[in-house]
Amino acid sequence: MTRRIALAFIALIVMLLALAVVPLGLSLSQREGTSFRDATEAVDRTIAAAAEEHLSDHRSPASMRRLLEDAERAGDCAAVFDAAGQIVAATECPGRTGEGDADDEAVDSWGDLARQVLVHPETATRERDDRLVVAVPVGDTTDPVGVAVLSRSADSMNDRIGAMWGRLALIGVGVLVAGVLVSVALARWVGRPLRAVDAAALRLGEGVLDVRVPGGHGPQEVRRLASTFNTMAARMEALIHGHRAVVADVSHQLRTPLTALRLRLDLLAADADDVTAAEFAGAQEEIARLSRLVDGLLAVARAETAVPRPVPVRVDEVVDERVTAWEPVGRERRVSLVGRCGTGLTAYLGAGDLEQVIDNLVANALDAVGEGAVVRIEGRATRDGVLLRVVDDGPGMTAAAREAAFRRFGNPEASGSGLGLAIVHRLVTANGGTVRLEDTVGGGLTAVLELPAPPSQGPSRGPRAGS
């Protein structure tokens, strides 16, 4: 964002400089050219006035020659033509070796210009070889007696125009440098507090509930945003801590009386007759079921109030560990449990979350299948992370049951508490993943989990495992 603000500000400055400096330079160049032309014409008119005294009044040409000498000393070339287009007097010019020996091309050019003025008595100008040539009629403008021609080099004008453009360029560069410095300072002033808010939001999303944004920096709107974020973070921290405290209190308050009730029923059943003992056994089963339900609800509550702090997790190692942990249960139920994952698979999850997810899915699968069945855990790398599947060949679920399975008590036909899949859904989605249920080819149910990869790497490494 800082770079975009700075670049936008610099682009605006460049545009303003282009709109201001270039037209100003063109205007000054045009004015310099006009001033140069007017000065040249003024000198030529002075020579024409002196030439009129000589050609019309037949006075001494001394005044005319003195003006020609002055023009020569100033670096100009001048010549006076009579009514027949012949040179009366001329200065020494580049390419001339003496009076009357002017360069043929220059003489022809001046003569043509002089004859043009004699035919159309008005001031004429022509540019030739970086020189400005001005021809002014001598005498009456309707019946001139001659023409005064003055050629002046445009080098001095070009030098002044070049120096003017140099000064404008220097001013433009100075303004641009100052604008760059101001734009960078402005961008940092706005961008730094926004980056602080972004970093704090990222840490809050990772579970650091006590993170806060330093206030008092940047524009008023950014300071207000930081204050609002801090208020939100404080309220979120209070709510989550409050939920955690409620879960802990409920866990203690419910488990203690249930445990005491079970112990009392055990004592009563020991001294009861067979009929009464059977009733007590049924009551104990209901208490055990209630205990499992309470544990499930508390597990869901803990999952919903927990804010995961994702870390890189080796999926293949966790799968191997959980398969080893569940193998005794599988052998007891005569169910084969197989883990098949590519080596080096890594996901980005909260610590311990993947273990809970696999435990709940495997427990559900073992409860659903019969003897001789197979439960497989398969993992492979994808472009965005890891694809993990828990496959069983049990009775499966209907489409309506699969749609409601991730809600609390969503599956009324579940043999357990019906909360395992709700816990799985909460843990996976809280970590930025997705979970869905599909039919297994040939019969059964497949839980498909898409787990995110660590932010510093692309697709998780490891060979892809087949189905």
E strands in 295-366: 310-314, 336-341, 346-350
Q: Is residue 203 in some structural domain? A: no
Do 437 and 395 share a domain, yes or no? Answer: yes
* Residue that is last in its domain, among 139, 159, 179: 159
- The CATH number of the domain holding residue 144 is 3.30.450.20
- The CATH number of the domain holding residue 346 is 3.30.565.10
pLDDT for the residue 95: 45
User: Sorting pLDDT into bands at 50, 70 and 90, what band is 101?
Assistant: very low
Q: Is residue 51 in some structural domain? A: yes
* Residue that is last in its domain, among 138, 159, 180: 159
Do 114 and 16 share a domain, yes or no? Answer: yes
Do 143 and 282 share a domain, yes or no? Answer: no
pLDDT for the residue 388: 92
Q: What is the CA radius of gyration of the chain?
A: 50
Q: Give pLDDT tens digits for 421-455.
A: 888 888 888 888 899 998 888 888 999 999 998 87
- Scanning 74-154, the segments in alpha helix (DSSP H) are 104-119
How far apart, in whole angstroms, are the C-alpha atoms of residue 223 and residue 205? Answer: 21
pTM over 0.75: no
- Please tell me the total count of domains within the chain: 3
Do 378 and 418 share a domain, yes or no? Answer: yes
Decide if 109 contacts 135 (C-beta within 8 A). Answer: no
Q: Is residue 181 in some structural domain? A: no
How far apart, in whole angstroms, are the C-alpha atoms of residue 176 and residue 120? Answer: 52
Q: Is residue 197 in some structural domain? A: no
Q: In terms of C-beta distances under 8 Å and separation of at least 24 residues, what long-range contacts does 181-188 make, across chains too?
A: 182/9, 183/5, 183/6, 183/9, 183/10, 183/13, 184/2, 184/6, 186/5, 186/6, 186/9, 187/1, 187/2, 187/3, 187/4, 187/5, 187/6, 187/9, 188/2
Q: Give pLDDT tens digits for 244-295.
A: 666 666 666 666 777 777 787 777 777 777 777 777 777 877 777 677 666 6
Q: Give pLDDT tens digits for 291-349.
A: 766 666 666 666 655 666 788 999 999 999 989 999 998 888 899 999 988 888 899 88
pLDDT for the residue 295: 66
Decide if 441 contacts 392 (C-beta within 8 A). Answer: no
User: Domain range for residue 234?
Assistant: 222-305
Q: Give pLDDT tens digits for 137-166.
A: 988 777 888 999 998 888 888 889 999 999
